[in-house]
Amino acid sequence: MITFLSGGTGTPKLIQGFRDIIPDNQISIIANSADDIRIYGLYVSPDIDTIIYLLCNILDTEKFWGIKGDTFHTLEFLGNLGYETWFKIGDKDFSTHIFRTDQIKKGKKLSEITEKIRSNLKIKSRIFPSSDTHIETRIITSVGDDIHFQEFWVKGRGEIEIDKVYIKNIRDAKTPKMALQSIDDDQYVIIGPSNPITSIGPIINLKQIKSKLVKNRQRVIAISPIIGNSPISGPTARLMKTEGYVVSPVEIAKMYQDVCDTFIIDISDKELINPIERETGLTVLTANILFKDTTVAKDLATMILNKGKSL
Ligand code: GDP
């Protein structure tokens, strides 16, 4: 069994590659829940849903959110009713959020609801939210507004000037037991190539997850979401700079050095092997980590599985 720590784009691309070589029932995913947002009266968990749709083979893999071929009539009519409709949800996609919200109203935890969705949709992998407590990535803008990450990234198209990023409620947040158990039990744990500030940060900085990773760190492998001086997609660079980080695989290695043992960077960054090993003590491997198609992800998955045999 392999456990992945995942956001909603980079790591799901890697998981696609693993699915080509190992059965779904050998995969566990701890998905970031700090992107969660209450909108249109519903509770939406974007990263968990991307993982659910990926494992049902219905994910729109052009955008890495939503369901392939979905329509947007409900959203359009919500607009007619006066809602702002910047957060795009397709008609089928709405069903997942209606189900989740209804279950929350019935007193169920996010992990219980995710498990129900998983089993109702006959997904064989295990999926855990990183937190059962509602946690939320918030942005302080340069004019002092405190806004949800989705308002910065989706509504504001990442163009708003910002001063700070923080994760609301993270200090005492509770991780589902089964997620912690999978870190203890699985052959190894992969910190996927996801946004270090908004996807991986809110997972590895959860107290209970951090202590499990530290304890099992010789079985934890991380993959850089950055090649050269830039991320492949999303607001990673902008957010890292805001938080005072240099945008480079070296910095990512420093951020993860307490919670992993092996760090994989792109072949084109091979001159960074020595500096990273010297500064962090991690074992650094190189591979092609730009997933232009699933073959690249599959090759990386094969390399990791082969390495896994020696862990
Ligand atoms: P979000 O939840 O949609 O923000 O997605 P993630 O956090 O999972 O993914 C965004 C991060 O994935 C960014 O930092 C990207 O650089 C990284 N990413 C996207 N595609 C790739 C890829 O092909 N290879 C690698 N190594 N990283 C990628």
Which DSSP symbol is given to 193? S
> What is the model's pTM?
0.97
Q: Is 262 left (phi over 0), alpha (psi -120 to 50) or beta?
A: beta
Closest CA to 58 of 111, 130, 123: 123
CA distance 210 to 203: 8
- Model confidence over 173-195: pLDDT tens digits? 999 999 999 999 999 999 999 99
CA of 93 to the centre of ligand 1 (A): 22
What's the distance, CA 220 to chain centroid?
A: 16
Given this model, what pLDDT does residue 309 score?
Answer: 52
What pLDDT was estimated at residue 157? 95
Nearest residue by C-alpha to atom 28 in ligand 1: 10
Structure tokens at 39: 């909108």
Give the strand pairing for 226-227 and 230-231. antiparallel
As a whole number of angstroms, the distance between CA 308 and CA 249 comes to: 22
Question: What is the best residue among 9, 49, 154, 272 to mutate for testing ligand 1's pocket, by most ligand atoms within 8 Å of CB?
Answer: 9
- 252 near 265, Cβ under 8 Å? no
Compute the distance from residue 236 Cα to the ligand 1 centre, in Å. 8
- 117: its two tokens: 């969705």
* 205-219: b (≥16 Cβ within 10 Å) or e: bbebbeebbeebbeb
CB of 66 shorter than 6 A to ligand 1: no
Tell me the average confidence (pLDDT) per consecutive run of 10 residues in the chain, 311 residues long. 97 98 98 98 98 98 97 98 98 98 98 98 98 98 98 96 97 98 96 98 98 97 97 94 97 98 98 98 97 96 81 48
- Is the minimum distance from the CB of 233 to ligand 1 under 6 angstroms? yes
How far apart (Å, rounded) are the C-alpha atoms in residues 110 and 133?
8
Strands 37-39 and 42-44: antiparallel
Determine whether the shortest distance from the Cβ of 202 to ligand 1 is under 6 A: no
Q: How far apart are the first and last CA of the chain?
A: 14
Domains of the chain: 1-134+172-311 (3.40.50.10680), 137-171 (no CATH)
Who's near 26: CB < 8 A, 6+ residues apart? 1, 2
Percent of the chain with pLDDT over 70: 99
Pocket of ligand 1 contains residue 17 by CB under 6 Å = no
Which atom of ligand 1 lies at the shortest distance from residue 8's CA?
A: 2
Cβ count near 268 (within 10 Å): 13
Tokens 């302080």 correspond to what residue? Answer: 140
